[in-house]
Amino acid sequence: MGAPSKSQPPEPAVWRRLARAAAPGFGAVAVVLAIWQVVVWSGWRPEWVLPPPMQVFARLGRELLERETWRALQITLWRALLGYAIAIVVGGALGLLMTRLRVLRTAFGGLTTGLQTMPSIAWFPLAILLFQLGEPAILFVVVLGAAPSIGNGLLDAIDQIPPLLVKAGRSLGADGFTLYRRVVVPAALPGFVNGLKQGWAFAWRSLMAGELIVMFADRPSIGMRLSQARELADAEGLLAWMVVVLAIGIAVHALGFGIAERRMLRRRGLLGAGH
Amino acid sequence: MNARLVHARLDARLIVDEERSIAIAVKEVTKEHGRGRDGVVALDRVSLEVRRGEFVCIVGASGCGKSTLLHLIAGLERPSAGSIGVSGGGVSIMFQDPALFPWLSVEQNVEFPLVTRGVPKLERRAKVDELLGLVRLQGFAKRQPHELSGGMRQRVALARALAHASHVLLMDEPFAALDALMRDRLHEELERIVAETKLTILFVTHNVREAVRLGDRVLLFSNRPGRLIAEFAVDLARPRRVESRAVIDLAARVTDQLWSHDHGRAVKVAAS
């Protein structure tokens, strides 16, 4: 454990820390864009099939000025949020039940791992049969995609609590609910956050798959825009919307999990000297 | 929870002993891990008493059930047979690993048992200040455990244990993971704290010199099964030093006794 020096430097400003954390990321993005541009220049595919990055970003800028774009973003993000929230409740409850009841665990342990590896797109035919082409079909698949990871994450997190900490807690007068609240939950938190992160990745993927399959006229979404762009052979628009998908995935990771997680790990002395 | 019941039941028996001021009474305690053929007898009909304010050390090779005995007294496990009594106020236990909660600061760790007991905030704060003063860590209240040295962490664990129960303390090889210099300093600290607080201590170690350095009495345990085989009174003036002639000589006698017991048993096994 890399214990920091005794005299801690004053905390730098938030924006500066963000900039420092994001700098390598921007470097990587620049490299990817450069490769993209080189491939375009090589003439491997005509520009109307594979447009150069500047053109795609210019298109993205124009798209962002349109009202319909924001509606699509709003609808997609709302679905993501709702599906993810349900997945946390379902997955969390499942995980907790499995830690409490050994029978459940032996019965469903393998199943949840299986569910985790099952491609969410394989659920769609069933979801459509069950719920028709509607919002519930999409939510169903998002929840099924994310909940197993979240449940398994919680299960692993609780399994990996050092027994000594629980023993210490008990010897200091904590039992029953108090032991859970004051020792088990905080001790399991880093592992649980990992499960939440993985759950988000699965939720976002499932949602994108779902929006490509389940579309209805008055509900624009990111997936729908992707699909439309392909039908119109609009490569520029297609790539612009793919950038949006990627950007949202990264933003949630960096802003939603990154900052809180680092804070938690630093507090516990679990961040290496390199961070 | 169950352990608490056991304590409560046995406290009644202890009231009789109040005038002799017994802090810990262990009577004919047996502990088996597992059952039948696979069962291992960790402790075999062990009886001992610790008087109030006494510092008793238990020495024995690893596997002699000495840690098990502390867990039983602390109520973390239940005996297979026999009874255990602890005088009012409860006991606290320290382990080789400080087992501090890494998500809490130093002062929050010390506060932990007070929070679980529902002590009001102002009272908690005063108690934490007092205890951090006792272990001389006032300046480190806001630090996280990982920022402290091993010795300092163990002092935080001591303060936390005293916040839980301030009369009877069980220590399970608490300094075994520290280097010798740090251990010497903590021995001095502990000796000072015992003098200031009139604490009763049952201290388990495999280090014979440490036992003689610290204890008023040293109890010798055999292993497999764990039995009490000898007892030594340590009538040496305090403060003591682990390097002093008297400590070394007595430690040598204790070690001889331990070896002769093991040897005697080895001969018996060979003969049978």
Task: Using pLDDT thresholds of 50, 70 and 90, give the confidence band for residue B11.
Answer: very low
pLDDT at A9 (0 to 100): 54
Average pLDDT, chain B: 86
pLDDT at B271 (0 to 100): 56
pLDDT above 70: residue B9: no
B205 bridge partner residues: B59
Q: In chain A, what are the domain boundaries?
A: 51-267
How much is the average pLDDT of A11-21?
A: 74
C-beta atoms of B101 and A186 within 8 A: yes
Exposure letters B172-199 (e unless 16+ CB within 10 A, then b): bbbbeebeeebbbebbebbbebbeeeeb
The fold of the A51-267 domain, in CATH, is MetI-like fold (1.10.3720)
Per cent of chain B over pLDDT 90 is 62
C-beta atoms of B147 and A4 within 8 A: yes
pLDDT above 90: residue B261: no
> Which chain B residue lies closest to A172 (C-alpha atoms)?
B113
Task: Using pLDDT thresholds of 50, 70 and 90, give the confidence band for residue A6.
Answer: very low
Task: Give A270→chain B minimum CA distance, Å.
Answer: 9
C-beta atoms of B116 and A174 within 8 A: yes
Task: Give B108→chain A minimum CA distance, Å.
Answer: 11
B2: left (phi over 0), alpha (psi -120 to 50) or beta: alpha
pLDDT above 50: residue B7: no
- B135-157 tens-digit pLDDT: 999 999 999 999 999 999 999 99
pLDDT at B269 (0 to 100): 57
CB pairs under 8 A between A and B: 66
Closest listed residue to residue A148, CA positions, set A99, A108, A180, A187 = A108
Structure tokens at B5: 């019941």
Q: Of chain A residues 181-210, which have a CB less than 8 A from chain B?
A: 182-183, 186-187, 189
pTM as predicted: 0.80
How much is the average pLDDT of A196-218?
A: 89
pLDDT at A12 (0 to 100): 63
Using DSSP bridges, classify how beta strands B22-33 and B40-51 pair: parallel, antiparallel or unpaired. antiparallel
Please give the Cα distance from A153 to A113 (Å, whole number): 11
Task: Measure the CA dihedral B111/B115/B119/B122, to 10°.
Answer: 50
Measured in whole angstroms, the distance separating CA A233 from the mean position of its chain's CA atoms is: 29
Distances (CA, A) of B186 to B70, B183, B251: 21, 5, 19
Q: In chain B, what are the domain boundaries?
A: 2-90+168-186+199-271, 101-166
C-beta atoms of A267 and B144 within 8 A: yes
Structure tokens at B267: 């001969």
Please give the Cα distance from B230 to A195 (Å, whole number): 54
Please give the Cα distance from B268 to B262 (Å, whole number): 10
| Test mutation, A164, A172, A268, chain B, max B CBs within 10 A | A172
Structure tokens at B245: 């002639």
Task: Using pLDDT thresholds of 50, 70 and 90, give the confidence band for residue B41.
Answer: confident
Instruction: For domain B2-90+168-186+199-271, say whether CATH 1.10.1060.10 is its number.
Output: no
C-beta atoms of A171 and B147 within 8 A: no
How much is the average pLDDT of B35-39?
A: 74
- A128-184 tens-digit pLDDT: 999 988 889 999 999 999 999 999 899 889 999 999 999 999 999 898 889 999 999
The residue assigned the tokens 């009841």 is: A101
pLDDT at B266 (0 to 100): 62
C-beta atoms of A175 and B101 within 8 A: no
- B193-215 tens-digit pLDDT: 999 888 999 999 999 999 999 99
pLDDT at B262 (0 to 100): 73
Do the beta carbons of residue A265 and residue A194 sit within 8 Å? no
A9 to chain B, any CB pair closer than 8 A? The answer is no
Q: A-chain residues within 8 Å CB-CB of B92?
A: 171-172
Rounded to the nearest 5 percent, the helix, strand and coil shares of chain A are 80, 0, 20
pLDDT at A121 (0 to 100): 86
Q: For residues A13 and A247, which has the higher predicted lDDT (pLDDT)?
A: A247
DSSP SS3 for A251? helix
Per cent of chain A over pLDDT 90 is 55
